Structure 1
Amino acid sequence: MTDVAQKSSTAPAKTRYFAVTALTYAMFFMFAMTTDAVGEIIKIAKGDMNLSNTQASAFHWATMTAIALSGILFGFFADKFGRKKTIIAGLALYGLASAAFFTGTTFQLYFTLLFVSGLAIGIFKTAALALISDITTSTEEHTRTMNALEGFFGIGAIVGPLLVISMHSRGISWTYLYLIAAALCLIMIIWAVFTEYPETKKSTDEPINLGKSFALMGNKYAMGFSMAIALYVAAEVSIFVWLPSYLDGYTGGQIATWMATYAVMVFFVFRALGRFLGIWILKHFSWTTVMMLFSGVIFICFAASAFFGQTVAAFLMPLSGLFMSMMYPTLNSKGISCFPKTQHGAVAGLILFFTAVSAAAIAPLMGFVADSFGGDMRYGFILATIMAGLLFIGMIYNHLKDPAATALQQANVTEYNL
């Protein structure tokens, strides 16, 4: 099997590659179930394994650090070896690591397997992001499709924590979540083997290698979007990693207590709904305007939650998910779209590197700050508020100057023949 279509077709890309598009959505749903359930897993593991906030954060940063390394080291695989082969290899590694959670119960084993899982995610995620370019017809459609893709990720992020909570209430170990992931990987590998993928476009001028990936760090578009995404991710990760700890033990009114109990779930619901809603919003409004306004609301939600306490946080932090929803997929799409399709795997890998570095760094840093103030996670969220404020400033600049406008217009001509 290769990425090259075995027969010619005049069918539109959306119709012709419906199966591969659905598979890509399913992949994002699957790995979101595990990565975004980490907040609930940490809350359980802290008690079961007697861990501090800083120690427990390793359940998150082990995966994120590995994703970062994988993105920068293996991102070019999708361009060099093709999207299909790279996706199958990544899914196989992820499935094996997930199944291996049942070979022991030590902290060291879990840490190692989470690291391997992160390497696998970096491999198949960069290939999947590069694939979006092959099945869309413009930079605008690319952005809308990316929002839909992240919408399915958002659904997985709802299902994963709910499964962990449900299993824990029944005395079932959270590790069974990874058994489910392993089974889904097997199904998707079989699915991928028998699915037609579009042809991977390759440059005839320059070799595709690791050196070219590192060279992208000198590009203003790659680094600009990477930095913006890093700030966004720092804010988002703070919610699903530490919000359960921040609101743990909260007692107030009936509605407020319910919101505090299910805050992360509500956040993920809003984030998923917002990403599907983004497909419509981005058809009718400028993406730079949306990014500026939404980042401003996010900053307000964080500032109020950090400085006015748990009751406010129980409502505003989940609500911020609606405004966070379009930030990551839109910035990611625009960053990738500034480059030729022959580099989309490497660019996706570079952006993923900074995404994961930010996610890996903010979790232990917030834990350390909280531990420095007697374990009070409110101080960790003050740090996250600073990150949200810097993102807002960046999006104001992006709206006023629109530095990527020329590159995106050129890509529509050179890459999508518009």
Structure 2
Amino acid sequence: MPRFMTIFAIAACYFIFAILLNSVGTVILQSINSFDISKPVASSLEGFKDLSIAFVSFAIAAFVPRVGYKLAMMAALILVAVVCALTPLYAEFAMIQVLFACIGTAFALIKVSVYSIIGQLSDDTKGHASLLNTIEGIFMVGVLTGYWVFSGFIDASDPSSLSWMKVYYLLAGLIAFTALSVFLSPIKKPKKLKASRPLIEDFMEMIRLTYRPLVLVFVLSIFFYVLIEQGIGTWLPTFNNEILHLPLDVSIQITSIFAAAIAIGRLLAGQLLRFINWYWFLNVCLAGMAILILLCMPLANAVQNAQQIATISSVLDAPLAAYLLPMIGLLMAPIYPVINSVMLSSLEKALHAPMTGLIVVFSALGGTTGSIITGFVFESFGGQRAFYLSLIPMLLIAITLFLFRRSAAKIQPLVTSTIEEAV
């Protein structure tokens, strides 16, 4: 029973933060309509979220065990619950920026704590992998749930209405319940740590890693991948609304296909990579992504020109392009976990922590850059050109994968056995 309570608590944390973190695309769309701001300004929410995750993750990773995982998680949950409760009362875009900065800060505390607690609950490698995959699976369920929760509070007949902000009262209540479950769970205090080296030394070790050619190519691959994923994922609700002329609630609901496609894609890839070379498999995925963009944009243009919006009242009425475009998640899904696995399996275990720091930092930078660039192009040149732009980082990933494969060739036997578990 104590073990179940602890697993329930950390799963609840991941579920609620999946809703909060992945609501950024929905909130950008609603902020544009409700606060009459430009797309580049709205895209700043991605930076408030991602950069706070990156900074706090690095700054407190070594500090959390000293204060205790339960205390760190409680602090994170209380912070976000309070800010969620205040957000509808101060219904301004600046308040939403503060909200996402707090969400990013809190998630950094949650992630460090949850990953450490999973280690406490696991007796062996298989048990650890099983529990971690379960928790990450619950995260994806939270992502899917979030789109439908937010759409339920949106007034499709009045795009500028602030009624959607009442969703934060519900979320504040769910967070409070999650905090109670954490408080009641018997989360163990970490063992007393021996004196560790100063944080500046950990930082310098992380910086020194970038001088390795393999690592440099890897972080570029990570940067370009997250640039694509966040650029498309964040702006998909706006694309559905402004280009495909879907109602606000339908625009958000149909975006859930993107999250579902990523989840299914990673499950399928985990099986396929048992029999297929990772390098060629990822190149096929990249080619498929490019083909899908080239196929969907003309379809979207036809819908935009037709402007047939009167007959669309549910996801079942949406045009073909609205279903095809989110399916790009099925093809991009394997790229991130595979290249992470190839990289980590090529390093000695002592370097996994600083390497993880680099992954977090460059993922955050890529996500923020992708969202801002896509928002700027969307505002200035239109949604189709903004999504056509994703073809450039796809080509750059293909180039970095080629260089990455050459650098990682010496550790190929180890890599093959590792990526099956990572995906």
- Identify whether the pair has TM-score above 0.5, normalized to the shorter chain: yes
1:289 and 1:154 map into 2 onto residues whose CA distance is: 27
Q: Give the C-alpha shift of residue 319 in structure 1.
A: 1.0
- Contact between 1:201 and 1:342, CA under 8 Å: does it hold in 2? no
For residue 113 of structure 1, what is the aligned residue in structure 2? 99
For residue 269 of structure 1, what is the aligned residue in structure 2? 260
Q: TM-score, normalised by structure 1?
A: 0.76
2:55 to 64, 69, 76: 69
- 1:246 equivalent to 2:276? Answer no
- Contact between 1:33 and 1:160, CA under 8 Å: does it hold in 2? yes
- Over residues 1-42 of structure 1, what are the superposed CA-to-partner deviations in whole Å (9 max), with x where a residue is unaligned? xxxxxxxxxxxxxx9955444443332221121222222222
Number of matched pairs: 392
- Contact between 2:217 and 2:404, CA under 8 Å: does it hold in 1? no
- Over residues 136-176 of structure 1, what are the superposed CA-to-partner deviations in whole Å (9 max), with x where a residue is unaligned? 67778766765544332222222112122221137772323
For residue 125 of structure 1, what is the aligned residue in structure 2? 111
- 1:384 equivalent to 2:390? Answer yes
For residue 193 of structure 1, what is the aligned residue in structure 2? 183
2:372 to 352, 364, 369: 364
- Over residues 323-367 of structure 1, what are the superposed CA-to-partner deviations in whole Å (9 max), with x where a residue is unaligned? 333443454566566667777665544422221221112212212
For residue 183 of structure 1, what is the aligned residue in structure 2? 173
- 1:324 equivalent to 2:315? Answer no
- 1:234 equivalent to 2:227? Answer yes
Q: Which moved more, 1:89-98 or 1:356-365?
A: 89-98
- Contact between 1:148 and 1:275, CA under 8 Å: does it hold in 2? no
- Contact between 1:32 and 1:154, CA under 8 Å: does it hold in 2? yes
- 1:48 equivalent to 2:17? Answer no
In structure 2, do the counterparts of structure 1 residues 21 and 235 end up closer, same or farther at CA, with 3 Å as the change threshold? farther
1:223 and 1:287 map into 2 onto residues whose CA distance is: 20
Structure 2 gap segments, 5+ residues each: 304-319, 419-423
- Contact between 1:259 and 1:315, CA under 8 Å: does it hold in 2? no
- 1:34 equivalent to 2:20? Answer yes
In structure 2, do the counterparts of structure 1 residues 306 and 230 end up closer, same or farther at CA, with 3 Å as the change threshold? farther
- Over residues 306-332 of structure 1, what are the superposed CA-to-partner deviations in whole Å (9 max), with x where a residue is unaligned? 576446753432111223334434545
Letter in 2 for 1:54: P
Q: Which moved more, 1:139-148 or 1:188-197?
A: 139-148
Alignment root-mean-square deviation, CA: 4.1
Structure 1 gap segments, 5+ residues each: 1-14, 413-418
- Over residues 112-137 of structure 1, what are the superposed CA-to-partner deviations in whole Å (9 max), with x where a residue is unaligned? 22222222122222333455555567
For residue 302 of structure 1, what is the aligned residue in structure 2? 293
1:238 and 1:136 map into 2 onto residues whose CA distance is: 36
In structure 2, do the counterparts of structure 1 residues 385 and 260 end up closer, same or farther at CA, with 3 Å as the change threshold? farther
- Contact between 1:225 and 1:331, CA under 8 Å: does it hold in 2? yes
1:307 and 1:55 map into 2 onto residues whose CA distance is: 28
In structure 2, do the counterparts of structure 1 residues 269 and 125 end up closer, same or farther at CA, with 3 Å as the change threshold? same
Which secondary structure does the structure 2 equivalent of 1:168 belong to? coil
2:219 and 2:380 map into 1 onto residues whose CA distance is: 30
1:290 and 1:198 map into 2 onto residues whose CA distance is: 42
Which secondary structure does the structure 1 equivalent of 2:91 belong to? coil
In structure 2, do the counterparts of structure 1 residues 125 and 325 end up closer, same or farther at CA, with 3 Å as the change threshold? same
- Contact between 1:76 and 1:213, CA under 8 Å: does it hold in 2? no
